[in-house]
A and B are shown apart, each in its own frame.
Chain A
Amino acid sequence: MGKRHIASAFAVSTVLVASLGLAACGGSDEAGKTADGKTVVTFWQQQFEDYQQAWFKKQVDAYNSSQDKVKVQIQVVPADTWAQKLKAAQAAGNAPDVATTSYGNIPAGAANGELAELDGLLPAEAFTDIKDNVKSFVTINGKHYAYPMLVEPSTVLYYRKDLVQAAGLDPANPPKTWAELSTWATKLTQGKVKGMTIASVPADLGWSSWGLQYNACGHLPVADDWSKSVASDACFGQLLDFYKGLYQSGVMPKQPKVGYADGSPYGNGEVAMMAGGSWVVGQLKNEFPKMIDKTAVAAFPSMDGDQTKPTATLGGWTLSVDGKSKVKEQAAGFIGWLLAGDPAIMADFFKSSGFSKYTVRATVDQALETNPDATADPFMKTISEQVVPFGKAEPAYPWEIALAFGTAIESAMKGNADVPAALKKADGEINDIIKKQSLAGTAPVR
């Protein structure tokens, strides 16, 4: 090979490496100003039901045109890529200024410095409007780290009135105990239609069973101060037996096509009853409107029939400001306008949701009182009167603990371990997590 060829090869390799290097280094976020001098606030919205994307976009457009100092740039991020995308952005220092944050992630986010305190950024009266039980969801040691948007109970019982009647059961008198629920599920299992569907994989069981964990034992499988596991308490055995009975008796689909959060098996008529979050009301109204007349909702049955015991956690979403954001004030300004400002904005949201989610501010409740759709909605009345008042906050401990307990339920359901062995394994795993993550005594004061 001649010198010219060697030189060519060297030049090509240099150009290749340099271009790749430039590609790797390029694209960094500059300044945060638009061409016309507006401050740019980046906003990542986790992807929810379709109507929510439309609502957020509409409101962001309205905010951007309502003033000339700030431009909010919204980006919708799918739920299954959210965690890794956010972590990668945090590592690179490019985390969004505003993000949707679930109640469960607020304590860890505040402890790690990921969330900015909102107290100095929003007026004090913005916080006084929040309902008392919800206020504690966003408060750590007296400081507010996010502004709540909604609550939604994690577990409600949906049932088909027509099928219930056909099976000789009374639709006006839904099951009150777990034993009654199992009986109903057995009677409603006819041909290809299963009597019931409920979560059956750890990723769903981990969170959707929190309310029932409270129901069975009055507490979660961790001591209040996070000093030790209490997963081997006998009362949790009854919870595992309940799930195991439903699964092994064949009254629920053994190979669910979708996760717990998706109500389409019920909407498609594959099951007669469903444990689902309140958000399924919205899904039924939007995607399966013919099912609405045939459907009734009730508080999920309690272990012993006591309907004042919790059966659901009140999950939900907030907006938070990134701890490293350079435009905290503007970011908080947008959150204040959207969530804490004119009650009509959030009233519009709840209307769009088909009243499948629940308000967190007194003034929004007042705005909805004048809305005949809201007051006449049968689902909203049942859920807001019989479920929400007894709902508990989502736990603040790391997800691994919830997953360990969800895995124990699954092991019992699928016969991989008997109930005591499954609980013993979860107990050991939770104690190990507590030890390795030094959790003892770190439970946040809400």
Chain B
Amino acid sequence: MALTPTLAPGPQTADAGRSARGRRGRVKTPPHRRDNRTAYLMIAPMVILLGIFVMWPLVYSVYLSTYEINFYRGSTFVGLQFYRYVLESPDFWHSIVVGLYYSALTVPAMIIIALLLASFIKTLSRRAAAFMKTTVYLPTVVSTVVASVLFVLIYQDEGVANWLLSLISFGPVNWLNDPQLALPAIAVPGIWLGFGLTTLILLAALLDIPESYYEQAALDGAGFFARLWYVTLPLLKNVLLYLFVTGFTLAIQMIDLPLIMTNGGPSEATNTPNLYIFNTFRDVTPYATSYSLTASLLLFVVIGAISAVVFRLVRSDKAIDG
């Protein structure tokens, strides 16, 4: 590939600016400074909004978590007591395990299905590809609530899932009320809802890989799997990392599906972290308010820590350009 000439102001430009200022005292602001100022102004609304709606509430939440909150009689300072309560709670850690299990069930499956579909769509004609892209994206625009209700019906004793099993003289299976099966059963609509967007992102990434790489690899005698392993996957690494981290972050925070389909049961088998916190918050005691607040903050730390570990394990290269 031809090298693209750099357009960014290089060191020489910056030196020229400094020397000009040195010679003439007050001079026009250098172009890159003006660009910086413009950039700061452009991101200012987002930074201000983040400050108001994210950073300040976060700081204030940490402050509030040191109190047992009572909206009527005044709050009592309890220091880090609620952090200890949450960290000691087996239910909190169980919910984290459930969240991780749900992520493990959904994210890799979603990425693999999406990669296969994207590879397939890439081989299609323009018109067929357009049809397929629309088709695979459709579940993404379905409301989670609607999908939940739909799958609850599918999983009923007389539902489609058990009807299919009955064709091979099996079942009926107690999909949503068996502690071993409930989370995998919920993961299915989770994958269904998410794979459309993942497919489109992977398709865009696949199309970005120059065809000449594959031609060269084919000339060197590489088969399908060799091309996949040595060409496709390395060049998709950053996109896959992005999909993995964002998919994981979303999956561990899943609340809608288990809330509607099982309300965390049976025997807390689908009690994801956010659902656990939500149900704790609904209780009327001041204890419950402070406990759920502290659990939310600790969940934030846990998700952040796991994401950091993922980034470290799957090292992101700055750019593997084609």
Cβ of B70 within 8 Å of any chain A Cβ, yes or no, is yes
- Contact between B267 and A410 (Cβ–Cβ < 8 Å)? yes
Contact string against B for A residues 307-343, beta-carbon threshold 8 Å, 1 for contact and 0 otherwise: 0000000000000000110000000000000000000
Could you say which residues of chain A place their CB within 8 Å of the CB of B49? 17, 20
Shortest distance between the CB of B8 and any CB in chain A (Å): 16
- Contact between B286 and A414 (Cβ–Cβ < 8 Å)? no
- Contact between B285 and A108 (Cβ–Cβ < 8 Å)? yes
* Cβ-neighbour of A90 out of B34, B72, B175 (below 8 A): B72
Could you say which residues of chain A place their CB within 8 Å of the CB of B269? 416
Could you say which residues of chain A place their CB within 8 Å of the CB of B176? 255
Please, which residue of chain B has its CB at the minimum distance from the CB of A255? B177
Measured in the bound complex, the distance between the Cα atoms of B52 and A201 in whole Å is: 41
| Interfacial residues of chain A within 17-45, with CB under 8 A of chain B in the complex | 17, 20-21, 24
Cβ of A437 within 8 Å of any chain B Cβ, yes or no, is yes
Q: Pick the interface stretch among A109-117, A157-165, A366-374.
A: A109-117
Looking at chain B's contact residues, is the secondary structure mostly helix, strand, loop, or mixed?
loop
Measured in the bound complex, the distance between the Cα atoms of B52 and A83 in whole Å is: 26
Interface size on A (CB < 8 Å)? 47
A114-B72, A414-B177 known; A87-B45 Cβ under 8 A: no
- Contact between A1 and B38 (Cβ–Cβ < 8 Å)? yes
Interface size on B (CB < 8 Å)? 43
- Contact between B157 and A254 (Cβ–Cβ < 8 Å)? yes
| Interfacial residues of chain B within 55-79, with CB under 8 A of chain A in the complex | 70-73
Cβ of B131 within 8 Å of any chain A Cβ, yes or no, is no
Cβ of B189 within 8 Å of any chain A Cβ, yes or no, is no
Measured in the bound complex, the distance between the Cα atoms of B142 and A195 in whole Å is: 37
- Contact between A203 and B284 (Cβ–Cβ < 8 Å)? no
- Contact between B48 and A13 (Cβ–Cβ < 8 Å)? yes
Cβ of A6 within 8 Å of any chain B Cβ, yes or no, is yes
Please, which residue of chain B has its CB at the minimum distance from the CB of A259? B263
Shortest distance between the CB of B263 and any CB in chain A (Å): 6
Contact string against A for B residues 70-98, beta-carbon threshold 8 Å, 1 for contact and 0 otherwise: 11110000000000010000000000000
- Contact between B282 and A324 (Cβ–Cβ < 8 Å)? no
- Contact between A83 and B265 (Cβ–Cβ < 8 Å)? no
| Interfacial residues of chain B within 15-47, with CB under 8 A of chain A in the complex | 34-35, 37-38, 41-42, 44-45
Measured in the bound complex, the distance between the Cα atoms of B262 and A203 in whole Å is: 11
Measured in the bound complex, the distance between the Cα atoms of B34 and A13 in whole Å is: 18
- Contact between A113 and B177 (Cβ–Cβ < 8 Å)? no
Measured in the bound complex, the distance between the Cα atoms of B141 and A309 in whole Å is: 54
Could you say which residues of chain B place their CB within 8 Å of the CB of A407? 267-268
- Contact between A203 and B155 (Cβ–Cβ < 8 Å)? no
Could you say which residues of chain B place their CB within 8 Å of the CB of A399? 283-284
Closest 4 pairs between A and B when the two form their complex, measured CB to CB? A113-B72, A13-B45, A83-B282, A416-B267
Q: A6-B37, A410-B267 are in contact. List 10 more A-B contacts (CB 8 A).
A: A12-B45, A105-B284, A108-B284, A112-B70, A112-B72, A255-B175, A398-B283, A410-B265, A410-B266, A414-B266
| Pairs across A and B, CB under 8 Å, 9 listed | A17-B45, A84-B278, A87-B281, A90-B71, A109-B284, A112-B70, A200-B177, A255-B176, A407-B267
